[in-house]
Structure formats: structure tokens, C-alpha cells
């Protein structure tokens, strides 16, 4: 299972139903993009202002998956290691707990 699939499962588990309208997974990218844009445009003004709507052009075509990062992360990783942010002393990985925290934070700001 891909990392993206795991994150989507975690979000759906936190009842972020906007990700899966009508309870089904959307396999066609163009259909997904159309539904995503429609959902964003239908948000109340405050939520729409904090949405990725102005950046939607970046989603016009799906990116090809790649292994690793599209950007060199050596400097970033060095900064994270120097700051000793976690016990691994490395860039934190996405976890279910972190996604759950993000959902709770977004809900507390009434952005979800």
C-alpha cells in the first residue's frame, strides 16, 4: 500500500469525508480534479480563502510518482539534525498521530 493510500485511509478514518464524496474512491484523475475544484468553490468564503483553490493549476495533471524527493533535502536534513527535533534526529515521517493532529487543528480553526 502506498504512503498516499495510508494517509487517505487515516483522513477518512477521522471522518474527513470531503476527500471521498459519496463514499467512493475516485479512480479517474480528471473526475477527481473536477470534484475537488467544485468542492473548493462551494466552500464558505472563510474556508475558501484558506483552500488550495489559487494553486489548483498545479494539480492540472497528475505528477509521475518518484522515489525519494523531487528537491534536494541535504541542507534541510542537516538543519533538522542540528536542531535535534526528535529522538531519531532526522526529518519526521508522517504518522497517523500527526495526521490526526492536523485534522484536529484544522477543525479547531473551522477549516474542515
CA distances to 70, 109, 112 from 48, rounded to whole Å, are 28, 13, 11
Contacts of 29 (CB under 8 A, 6+ apart): 61, 62
In a domain? residue 79 = no
Mean pLDDT computed over 77-97: 85
In a domain? residue 82 = no
How do residues 12-24 score in pLDDT, each as one tens digit? Answer: 776 666 555 555 6
In a domain? residue 104 = yes
In a domain? residue 72 = no
pLDDT tops 90 at residue 26: no
For residues 12 and 83, which has the higher predicted lDDT (pLDDT)? 83
Query: CA-to-CA distance for 8 and 21, rounded, in angstroms?
Result: 13
- In the chain, the number of structural domains is 1
In a domain? residue 24 = yes
Query: CA-to-CA distance for 8 and 10, rounded, in angstroms?
Result: 5
Query: CA-to-CA distance for 17 and 7, rounded, in angstroms?
Result: 13
Amino acid at each position: 500500500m502506498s504512503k498516499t493510500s495510508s494517509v487517505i485511509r487515516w483522513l477518512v478514518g477521522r471522518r474527513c469525508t470531503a476527500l471521498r464524496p459519496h463514499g467512493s474512491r475516485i479512480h479517474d484523475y480528471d473526475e477527481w480534479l473536477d470534484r475537488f475544484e467544485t468542492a473548493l468553490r462551494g466552500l464558505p468564503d472563510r474556508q475558501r480563502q484558506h483552500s488550495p483553490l489559487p494553486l489548483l493549476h498545479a494539480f492540472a495533471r497528475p505528477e509521475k510518482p518518484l522515489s525519494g524527493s523531487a528537491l534536494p533535502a541535504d541542507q534541510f536534513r542537516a538543519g533538522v539534525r542540528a536542531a535535534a527535533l526528535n529522538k531519531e534526529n532526522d526529518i519526521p515521517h508522517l504518522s497517523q498521530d500527526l495526521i490526526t493532529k492536523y485534522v484536529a487543528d484544522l477543525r479547531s480553526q473551522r477549516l474542515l
